Amino acid sequence: MLKKIGRIIVFIVAVLFIVLSIGGIVGAWWVNNVASNVTLKAFSVVETGVGIVDTGVGRVETLIQTGRTEVQQAEETVVTISGNLQANHPVLTALSERLETRLGPTVDKIQEAMAPVRDALGTVSNAVSIANSIPFIQERAPRLEKIDTAFSRLGEMSADAQQLRSTLREAAAGRADQLTQETATTLTNLTSRVDTRLAEVETAVQEVQTEIQALQARLETLKSRLLLIYDLAALAATLLLLWVIYSQIVVIRHHARLFRTPAPAASAPSPAIEAPAEISVPAPPAEEAGDTSPDTGSAEVPVQGETA
């Protein structure tokens, strides 16, 4: 009876292990799905910020190249006419109008394009810092110092560009006989300084773009690696729990076979067999006369009626 109760308990425990193992398999893949979705969402935030930075930096770089082209052409024009500014007064007037219509709006567009780049870079940096809280993730967040330096250079360049336009406007509005070599030198210095500021901003922006592209490549590799780890962990848990299920099925089949096998009947005790009593064999009768057997020394008894 106790054996049956023990087997029933074994059955219950085995079935419980099987149910828990099946639930563990479902739970492992559910956790895998949740972790994958969270990872993809986290990386999507970074990827969105990286995309904004990349697009904004590309636009800023295009505008900077346009601005540098205008400034360099203005500088070449000033150098060309610097030998005779009075005779080339109309050229200065045309150059002033051109810078007002092209360089001024270009500088404003550069400043407008840099603002979302700075915000997106801050978002990316915060997201990477949060991701670095995970033990096995150590990514280098993009440095905001470079974009801040670019903003600083952009402010200085904007002031220099404003001074260049003002100086050129005054030279174009003044009388031709008031134009001197000092005016040409001032314009040349201003154009060179504006071009230098734009080159510094362009260099800083290009460095930021290089860092962002490298970060994007590293994050893509990290994302693929994390998703692979999640899948391998879920697969390992599934195989382990399948082995547990198989072992419990073996246990159930074993005890079920014992249930179906009838218990052997109790055999009656065999009676004790007594040893046979010792049988005494009587001595053989004495042999007739003439027997060659030795004489035992007993006296012969005459037989009555025997003739002499």
Domain definitions of the chain by residue range:
2-258
pLDDT on residue 255: 73
pLDDT on residue 270: 52
pLDDT on residue 235: 95
Distance, CA of 308 to CA of 81 (rounded, Å): 202
Among 76, 55, 54, 73, CA closest to 65: 73
How high is the mean pLDDT in each 10-residue block of the chain (308 residues)?
76 88 92 89 81 84 86 82 69 78 82 83 79 72 75 79 78 61 78 85 84 84 89 94 90 77 53 49 49 45 41
Q: CB under 8 Å to 259, separation ≥6 — which residues? A: 4, 7
Q: Is 265 left (phi over 0), alpha (psi -120 to 50) or beta?
A: beta
pLDDT on residue 299: 42
Q: Which two tokens stand for residue 179?
A: 């134009």
Q: Rg for the chain (alpha carbons), in Å?
A: 56
Rounded to 10 deg, the angle between the 181-260 and 2-81 helix axes is: 170
End-to-end CA separation in angstroms for the chain: 97
pLDDT in tens, 172-185: 676 555 556 777 78
pLDDT on residue 1: 65
